Amino acid sequence: MEGVVSDHRNGQSWQLQWIREVRGEAGAAQLDQLHDLQQEVVLRDNPDGWGWELNDSSEFSVAVVRNHLDDVRLPVGIAPTLWNRFLPSKINVFRWRVALNRLPTRCNLVSKSIDLETVLCPVCQMEVESLAHFLFRCEVPFALWGRVALWCDVYMSVFDSFEEVRQWVEGQSAVNFRQLKMEAVCFIVMWVLWMFRTGIVFGDPKAKRDVLFDSVVSFSFNWFCNRNKKYDRDWNAWMVCSHRN
């Protein structure tokens, strides 16, 4: 459409000519929405020009759009994301995705309208595979958390969510250093479980539940010691009890 905006206004109604007919229900609904918005438009005698309403200066900037999209799309009200320096980046990113429930569990995939043959847990085939199920409630995580609690010589109630793990770590009376250590172990447990689950889904013969605990112990030893130069690399001490060392 060429000309000025007022050329397309006739009294209180708009005279708009579209290049093609509106197709489908969604298009028709959007056109209705546009008509509703146009009802509120009041024309003045000023020359036509572009306006920008997201900031006070009325000037467009990419930064303002970025901030606006963040405000609209990013979740609010969750605990701040902390970086555990004893963990590799991939585990910290994984932990962030767990906190936001952004892992592609079958439950989450279905909620994104992805067709799956089943939504059941690939391990037990009995419950819907949600984040809480494969990290805490299923038989494999249930047994692994129990074994880790014995190894660390700590009491862990039966977790049911990421938030409960986070609160448990924060509630430890240990000094900050040990708290970070226990936090690292907890997130390694979750990561090992996710790797196991992925292996089961994609038919990896190396995905075996018997080695999960050993993986937690060895990964935590290697990552913790490599990122902590003051710590004495004593494998035997680590094997006995990670919490008190």
> Which residues here bind Zn ion, judged by CB under 5 A?
121, 123-124, 138
> Distance between CA 5 and CA 7 in Å, rounded?
5
Nearer to Zn ion, 124 or 201 (CB): 124
Which of 109/124 has CB closer to Zn ion? 124
Q: Taking the complex as a whole, how short is the minimal distance between the CB of residue 148 and Zn ion, in angstroms?
A: 18
Q: What angle do CA 70, 73, 77 make, to 5 degrees?
A: 85
The dihedral built from the CA positions of residue 68, 69, 70 and 73, taken in this order, carries a sign that is: positive
* Nearest C-alpha neighbor of 197 from the set 212, 218, 182: 212
Distance between CA atoms of 140 and 196, rounded to whole angstroms? 10
Nearer to Zn ion, 138 or 165 (CB): 138
H or E element at residue 14: strand 13-14
For Zn ion, give the closer residue by CB, 107 or 138: 138
Dist CA 209 CA 211 (whole Å): 5
Cα gap 76→82, rounded to integer Å: 15
User: Closer to Zn ion at the Cβ: 98 or 184?
Assistant: 98
The first and second tokens of residue 140, run together, are 């494999």
Residue 127 Cβ, how far from Zn ion at the closest point, in Å?
A: 5
**Residue 200 Cβ vs Zn ion, minimum distance, rounded to whole Å:** 10
Q: How far is the CB of 94 from Zn ion (least distance, A)?
A: 20
Gap between the Cα atoms of 198 and 182, Å rounded: 24
Q: In angstroms, what is the minimal distance from the CB of 214 to Zn ion?
A: 21
Q: How far does the chain reach from its first CA to its final CA, in angstroms?
A: 75
Distance of closest approach, residue 234 Cβ to Zn ion, in angstroms:
36
Q: Coil, strand or helix: which one is 15?
A: coil
Q: Would you say 121 or 188 has its CB closer to Zn ion?
A: 121
Do 48 and 5 meet the contact criterion of CB atoms below 8 Å apart? yes
- 36 class by beta-carbon count within 10 Å (0-12 exposed, 13-18 middle, 19+ buried): exposed
Q: Of 138 and 190, which has the nearer Cβ to Zn ion?
A: 138
State the nearest-atom distance from the C-beta of 121 to Zn ion, in Å: 3
